[in-house]
Amino acid sequence: MTTSMNQDRIEARLQELESNLATTRRSLRRTRRWLGMSGIGGVVLLAAAAADLAVIDVIRTKRMEIIDDMGNVVLAAAGDADGGRLDIWTPKGCNVMRISANDNGGDMALWNCQGQSIAGLFANEQGGEVSIWNNTGGRSARLHDSGQGGLLELKKDDSLRASIGGTMLGSAVELFDTKDARITSISTADDAGYLAIRDQLQLASTSSRTQMTLMDEDKTNVAQLYGGADMASLSIKSPTGTVKVHSGDQATPPTMAVINGQGQIGAHMTIREHGGGTLTASSSDGMEVASIRSDESGNGRVDLSDKLGTLMATMQTLSQRGATMALMSPNGKRACALAASENGGVLNLSNGQGSPVLVGGIPAGRRDGALNLYNQRGVPVISAGSTIGGFGQLSINDDNGHRLITFPQRFESTNAGTMPTDQ
């Protein structure tokens, strides 16, 4: 039998249970609303109930969906062959984001409302990768690990335009044209830096040297500039020849060479040991045939040779004396010599054996001329000159140089002047 006291207790207990249930329902609604606004799926529902209700620790399901106030699915959590997957939709039903797994790790993709991929973050065999696409599906940028280091690629509709990344020895930057041809590249390796433009201009530099190379369309070197710690060189090449300039170093003097199309030196200029300069010209086969140089005193000299290298002519200056010139016969003997002396000019003609046969000049202390003829042994046999009075005189000698006769032998004075007479 139920008493009124017991009835009161039962009604109080029922009211308490109804109050706790209402509180639990309000808590569940707040939790569901919070999950929908945050955009993240969960696999656990918060069931905060009164102390008398049981707490739910695990909820298991194949798919869970979050809907908005209009009943549209805006978030779904499910599984596929690769693992867990979380999808997000807009209120208009556009699937704009997916978080899932792939064979290498995590995978996150973003789409626009036209269904085109616009961004992705995912794991690959080398590590992680980030990619960006335009609204037509063409890839615009890619950041990933190349196996040698990080690599950033900038593209236009999947066509590579620029890249920057790490390498095994340093780093590299590459720029491309609209035909996917590499136009410019910059790289480092250890302590060296490199710059190339169309592979026709190359610049390389280390802590101790710098080199610049110019190439034609056939990738043939046309110019090269090199600089080191104590020397520099320049080489300019054309189909007809090459010019090479070398600054020299502690062991070699500066030089400049002009090389013909056959690879032979056609002209050469350098510094001599005493500091003077020398300039040489060569034949087409590289034989030196002409030279201009200075001696230790600063005097100049010119030498001319035949195509076999035999000296044929030489001219030089002598301090306080003047210039001399000598012409050689094919056998290398001096055939003709011209010289300047303190008194005036001197002429010397020699035979094929190098013996003088004619000598002309100014006698010492005189201002008039003298001419001597020599036999094959170099003995003077005829002498022509002038007397102190200014008249001409001729002497004839035997083959040993002994005087035989002199014309004229004496002189007289007349009203017409001083005339030579033969006695």
Q: How far apart are the first and last CA of the chain?
A: 202
Note down pLDDT in tens along the chain; length 423 residues.
444 445 555 555 556 655 655 565 555 555 555 444 444 334 333 334 444 445 678 888 899 999 999 999 999 999 998 899 999 999 999 999 999 999 999 999 999 999 899 999 999 988 999 999 998 889 999 999 988 899 999 999 889 999 999 998 899 999 999 988 999 999 999 889 999 998 899 999 998 899 999 999 888 889 999 998 888 999 999 989 999 999 988 788 999 999 998 899 999 999 988 888 999 999 999 999 999 999 888 889 999 999 888 999 999 988 777 899 999 988 888 899 998 877 788 899 988 888 888 999 887 777 788 899 998 888 899 999 887 777 888 999 998 889 989 888 654 444 433 334 443
- Give the 3-state secondary structure of residue 283: coil
Question: Residue 25: what pLDDT?
Answer: 56
- Other C-beta atoms closer than 10 Å to the C-beta of 305 total 20
Most distant pair of Cα atoms in the chain: their distance:
202
* Torsion on CA atoms 280, 284, 285, 291, rounded to nearest 10: -10
Q: Under 8 Å CB-to-CB from 158, ≥6 apart: which residues? A: 138, 139
**Rounded Cα distance, 59 and 247, in Å:** 85
**Rounded Cα distance, 186 and 376, in Å:** 78
Model's pTM, two decimal places?
Answer: 0.61
CA atoms within 13 A on the CB side of 352: 2
Q: Identify whether the C-beta of residue 131 lies closer than 8 Å to the C-beta of residue 139.
A: yes
Question: Residue 353: what pLDDT?
Answer: 84
DSSP state of 55: P
Question: Residue 173: what pLDDT?
Answer: 96
**Rounded Cα distance, 150 and 164, in Å:** 8
Closest by CA to 281, choosing from 305, 312, 246, is 305
**Rounded Cα distance, 244 and 311, in Å:** 27
Q: Which amino acid is at 52?
A: D
- Going by their DSSP bridges, the two strands 117-123 and 105-111 should be labelled as antiparallel
- Other C-beta atoms closer than 10 Å to the C-beta of 417 total 6
* Sign, CA torsion 305/310/313/318: positive
For residue 206, give both structure tokens: 């280390």
**Rounded Cα distance, 235 and 257, in Å:** 9
**Rounded Cα distance, 209 and 193, in Å:** 11
Strand partners, 25: none
Question: Residue 385: what pLDDT?
Answer: 86
**Rounded Cα distance, 283 and 260, in Å:** 10
- Other C-beta atoms closer than 10 Å to the C-beta of 142 total 19
- Other C-beta atoms closer than 10 Å to the C-beta of 94 total 14
Question: Residue 40: what pLDDT?
Answer: 39
* Sign, CA torsion 199/202/206/209: positive
